Amino acid sequence: GAVVSQHPSWVICKSGTSVKIECRSLDFQATTMFWYRQFPKQSLMLMATSNEGSKATYEQGVEKDKFLINHASLTLSTLTVTSAHPEDSSFYICSANGPTATEAFFGQGTRLTVV
Amino acid sequence: AQSVTQLDSHVSVSEGTPVLLRCNYSSSYSPSLFWYVQHPNKGLQLLLKYTSAATLVKGINGFEAEFKKSETSFHLTKPSAHMSDAAEYFCVVTVSGGYNKLIFGAGTRLAVHP
């Protein structure tokens, strides 16, 4: 099946700094990617829909200035957590619809810890 | 609006016994439904999907699910649990029958005991 690669798999950063997470579709083009956040022992919550060449669509309650999304190419979307704080610590997962749009493929996830 | 309810937050079974993870959905349209599995600190893997074809869907690792429109259910089953099945399972419905937004259930943690 199609492969989505997410990098890094884990990151620790200091409070106030910014962190960039990459999501790549390795063997297909993804015009749309999705970013989710998952708190411990909870489900995935959609943060935003990333569209290649246009602005991301954010879900209600998600700060677009804090979670910057860039989808500059058909195979790469990035999520930048700006001025990170400890409450931003979470597991972030991206997904992309496969080439036939019949299935969503997920990255491995990124564990962000802000200290 | 679409929604999905996983009826059990935790399920515990013995190895070799059947598994049943329950899921009910609500959808204004003909839904597409999925079951995903997540092992600790890992991404999600698709187990199976229903997309308006056969109502009994067979997936990977011996899992299957049956779409029952009259009961608005899409329960996940496996005849015999294996230790490696221990993980978090998510029932998912798409928005408006498409493949854009996925609405996740709260998840069911499956524990398998020897």
Most B CBs within 10 Å, among A43, A57, A102, to test the B interface: A43
Over residues A99-109, the mean pLDDT reads: 80
DSSP letter (8 states) at residue B28: S
Q: Do B101 and A49 touch (CB under 8 A)?
A: yes
Count of CB pairs separated by less than 8 Å, A with B: 52
B111 Cβ neighbours under 8 A, 6+ residues apart: B10, B11, B12, B13, B86
Q: Do the beta carbons of residue A79 and residue A23 sit within 8 Å?
A: yes
What is the band of B95 on the pLDDT scale with cuts at 50, 70, 90? low
- Residue B99 pLDDT more than 60? no
